[in-house]
Amino acid sequence: MAKAIAKQKLYELIRQMKYKCEKYGITFMQVSRFFPSSKTCSSCGQIKLDLKLLDRIYKCDCGLEIDRDYNAALNLAKFGKLAD
Ligand SMILES: [Zn+2]
């Protein structure tokens, strides 16, 4: 039951975001749920398959050390610019 409610809330959030974007003339983009935004290095593009949810700092072989959420945000921003 909780899973169904969470799914409904996510649907409502996406619906509201689409509505607000349209209202203010902003392009709405939605990536695939399988897009590896957290696991991809925003500097070199390497994908870290063993990244755990507990790993709050993203550390890459290229030397990048960055907050995992900020890293994901950078990857999503790049995706948006490429698709634009
Ligand atoms: Zn890297």
pLDDT category of residue 29 using cuts at 50, 70 and 90? very high
* Ion ligand 1: residue ranges with CB closer than 5 A: 41, 43-44, 46, 60, 62, 64
Rounded to the nearest whole angstrom, what is the distance from the C-alpha of residue 45 to the centroid of ligand 1?
6
> Residue 18 in contact with residue 28, Cβ under 8 Å?
yes
Question: Which is more confidently placed, 24 or 83?
Answer: 24
What per-residue confidence (pLDDT) applies to 83?
Answer: 77
Q: 57: CA distance to ligand 1 center in Å?
A: 13
Percentage of the chain lying above the pLDDT 70 cut: 99
Confidence at 82, pLDDT banded by 50, 70, 90: confident
Q: How far is the CA of 50 from the centre of ligand 1 (A)?
A: 14
Tell me the pTM. Answer: 0.77
Task: Give the burial class of 71: count Cβ atoms within 10 A of its Cβ; 0-12 exposed, 13-18 middle, 19 or more buried.
Answer: buried
